[in-house]
Amino acid sequence: MNGLLVRRAAFAWQSFAGLATVLVIIGITTSLITRDMHHLARFGALIAAVGAVLVIVQIRFDMVVEREFQALLRRIDEGDEAVLSPVLDEATARIKQQSKARAQEEVKASRTSAAIIVAAITACGEILHGWGDVVMHILVALAF
């Protein structure tokens, strides 16, 4: 793989993490302004909902990654021509195997990073949903 999908995916998943961070900041700010410590918990629920939607996005992402990976494997295998030289045939086979292994590693890294970010966003949202008011009381006690 040329790495484009992995780079493109990393940016997309990081933007979702950025959205979750912005929602946390808005939740804290809203709680402080209104003096209602439950607003952070409400924003935590919103973050958890975003995480739930991201599961669907992640499944679609995995489908695209797999399709691009299979297309790459076909392109790697299309270069099979008889060279009639055992040394060149062996070198060609080794290069193809290395290309396939590298592509597999990129796919694995891309899928893993996406899964970690989705899980972290959802977990953060659920923790804030359940404990947001307590977190706000602690933040207020520490700040004032």
Give the confidence band of 32 by pLDDT, cuts at 50, 70, 90: very high
Q: Convert the pLDDT of each residue in 51-60 to its tens digit.
A: 988 888 888 8
Contact yes or no for 136/25 (Cβ under 8 A): no
Per-position b or e across 41-69, b if 16+ CB within 10 A of its CB: bbbbbbbbebbeebeeebeebeeebeebb
Say what the pLDDT of residue 2 is: 47
CA torsion angle 53 58 60 61 (round to 10): 140
Structure confidence at residue 48 (pLDDT): 94
Residue 49 tokens read as: 């909902």
Q: Directed axis angle between helix 4-34 and helix 86-143, to 10°?
A: 10
Of residues 25, 28, 26, 19, the one with CA closest to residue 48:
19
pLDDT tens digits for range 77-127: 776 555 566 766 677 778 788 888 888 888 888 788 888 888 999 999 999
pLDDT, residue 1, reads 43
Across the range 4-27, mean pLDDT stands at: 77
When comparing pLDDT for 21 and 99, which is higher? 21
Domain boundaries of the chain, sorted by first residue: 4-143
C-beta atoms surrounding 124 within 10 Å = 19
